[in-house]
Amino acid sequence: MLKKSLESIVTDDIEDLIARIIERDEDAFNDLYEATFSKVYSLALKITKDPSTAEEVVEDTYYQIWQEIYRYDFNKCPLYNWMLIICRSRAIDAVRKQNAIPEMVVNYDWVIESTELSADDRLQSKQNSIAVIKALSEIKPLQRQLLHHVFYYGLTHQEISVIMNMPLGSVKSTINRAQKLLREKLKGEQF
């Protein structure tokens, strides 16, 4: 089924594909992804007008599809339309979020001060901690949660995939995107 467009897949194949995805068959999900990615991304880009935001929208779209494929009703609309409805909704949410005044709540209480450091080093350490906390507060909650699993609990991507009930590829791409965003936000900081 690789490299086929969704339109070229016959109805029986689509029903089989959906059944396999409901059973958590990652190969079936990858087939769906490959058959639909370009159109889903095109819609996300058209609405958000920003490639980075469109990538996040696409990631959110496929995550939602993976989580909610069991809700899809073949009799209501074609699978492709259902996917584009999800994408459109995610893209509109992303645009609204960008246009909203961000509400940032940061808890600095957990910042640990070492008494073994000089005053200058403690100040630098506190400033670094604040910069990291601020950067973490500016990324998506899912990204923050996955980074927490990796760096606080020391979980592997595979373990996170199982715990979060996410495809392994989505876990990896979400973590990579989160790390990239943090690097961008912390550019210029001296650690």
Question: pLDDT by residue for the chain (191 residues), tens digit each?
Answer: 444 555 555 555 778 888 899 999 999 999 999 989 999 999 999 989 899 999 999 999 999 999 999 888 878 888 888 999 999 999 988 888 776 534 444 444 444 555 566 777 777 777 777 888 888 888 888 898 898 888 877 888 988 888 788 899 999 999 999 999 999 988 877 65
Supply the CATH number for residue 156's domain. Answer: 1.10.10.10
Q: Which domain holds residue 167?
A: 119-185
| Together in a domain, 84 and 125 | no
Distance of CA 134 to the CA centre of its chain: 19
pLDDT at residue number 1: 43
**Residue the block writes with tokens 């939602």:** 64
Length of the chain in terms of residues written: 191
DSSP state of 70: G
| Residue 28 lies inside a defined structural domain of this protein | yes
| Together in a domain, 95 and 126 | no
pLDDT at residue number 30: 92
Q: Considering only CA atoms, which of 68, 61, 69, 60 is closest in space to residue 17?
A: 69
| Residue 49 lies inside a defined structural domain of this protein | yes
| Residue 107 lies inside a defined structural domain of this protein | no
Domain count, the chain: 2
Distance between CA atoms of 78 and 60, rounded to whole angstroms?
20
| Predicted model pTM | 0.52
| Residue 77 lies inside a defined structural domain of this protein | yes
